[in-house]
Amino acid sequence: MVRPNQPGSSRDEHVKITNQRKQGFLERLGETTGGMLVGVLIFIFSFYLLFTNEGRCVRTQNSLNEGLSLVVSLSDVFTPLPQNDGKLVHLTGSLMTLQPLYDPNYGISVHVVKLQRRVEMYQWVEYSDSRDYEENGEKKIETRYSYNTEWKSEVVNSRSFDREIGHKNPSSMPVEAFTAVASDVNVGNFHFSKGLVDKVNTFKRIQLAKFEGPHSDIVVSDDYFYHSSNPRHPEVGDLRVSFYYAGLSGEWSFMGRPDVVTVVARQRGDQLLPYHTQSGNVLELLYEESLSATEVFEREHAANSMLTWGLRFAGWMLMFLGMKLMTKIFHTIVDWVPIIRDLVSLGLTVFAACVATSLTLLTVALGWLFYRPLLALLLGCFSLVPILIVKSRDRPKML
């Protein structure tokens, strides 16, 4: 059943109500069994993630410590010295590219490491909001659909809309987005590897005030090239194009001074290449600012620590979710009794959280066992704390 918009309403929306058949006990039990199998897989994967994360953390720490002890800081970036061949070097300087990157369709030509064309099309977008309720003993779903026109960088498929009539979008972008990358990037006389070029990723908007539209039907406004007869009141299918750059290079221009970067990599002649450490990691670092060698490695240590804790939390969440799915069958068995259902749900959640916390700490401890045995032992002891807390609460009270 669809309720049309009320007369006089300015909002483009409608409401659709559908009936939902209530699932029987066996159907719910079957779904829960399938969820248990998924939970087992998630539970097993969480152990793999947590254990390998600790090994990765240690290897990265050792590689960074090794790199800091061996790195050679270069004061002259214009004279590659033969005695530094094969060594890990640290250098800071301004970016340089031999040829400008350009887009002939819009007359853009700039000396940068990367030039990015971004395209947006004015399209219909559907939003939906659903709620469940019961009426006359039947379970129903009320879904409110609303439509709005927005600038989107991807084609929105209007065929999937609940109501496509009056909300039809074009099937493709008339102008494609792209990213151009300079073929030769260097600092002084040192040439970058592809890996270093890939790390130049801080994109900034190109101000188009100094550029003119390449055709009379293209209007420049608010740093966009508009394919529209009226940019202030666009129609569905209109385009707007913007440009971004990363790694301003060459001499000083109207866009500003060339960007300064700091690089840590292996020198081979006048090439900067990946450096393989004894721990098995690769050092090929770039920061888009001026940093000392010590500051570079301090930031890498901080990034490694942040990634390690992020993966630990992700591992705990996966373990908790796996436990919830594996124990959901107990909730399904009693879900027809509201009070018991709520108590069982709370108990299963607490149980899953305690078990996930204990097993996470224990897995992390096993990961450190070969590197720091005392720390592993300490974490192993902490892993017993949640279980002991639960046990202490279950102990019968003395009269």
pLDDT given for residue 88 in this prediction: 97
pLDDT given for residue 361 in this prediction: 81
Give tens-digit pLDDT for 355-380.
888 888 888 877 666 655 655 566 55
pLDDT given for residue 376 in this prediction: 54
Q: At 285, is the pLDDT very low, low, confident or very high (cuts 50, 70, 90)?
A: very high
Summary mean pLDDT of the chain: 84
pTM: 0.79
Q: At 318, is the pLDDT very low, low, confident or very high (cuts 50, 70, 90)?
A: very high
Give tens-digit pLDDT for 183-209.
999 999 999 999 999 999 999 999 987
User: Where do the structural domains in the chain lie, given as residue ranges?
Assistant: 18-62+303-394, 82-291
pLDDT given for residue 357 in this prediction: 84
The answer on pLDDT for 4 being more than 50 is: no
Q: Stretch 303-323: mean pLDDT, rounded?
A: 93
The residues, ordered by sequence, that sit 6+ positions from 5 with a Cβ below 8 Å of its Cβ are 11, 12, 13, 14
The answer on pLDDT for 223 being more than 60 is: yes
pLDDT given for residue 307 in this prediction: 96
Give tens-digit pLDDT for 224-245.
999 998 899 999 999 999 999 9
pLDDT given for residue 280 in this prediction: 86
Q: Stretch 263-288: mean pLDDT, rounded?
A: 95
Q: At 391, is the pLDDT very low, low, confident or very high (cuts 50, 70, 90)?
A: low
Give tens-digit pLDDT for 5-14.
433 334 688 8
Q: How far apart are CA 32 and CA 14, in angstroms?
A: 34
Give tens-digit pLDDT for 139-172.
778 889 999 999 999 999 999 998 989 999 999 9
Q: Stretch 94-123: mean pLDDT, rounded?
A: 93
pLDDT given for residue 5 in this prediction: 46
pLDDT given for residue 218 in this prediction: 87
pLDDT given for residue 25 in this prediction: 47
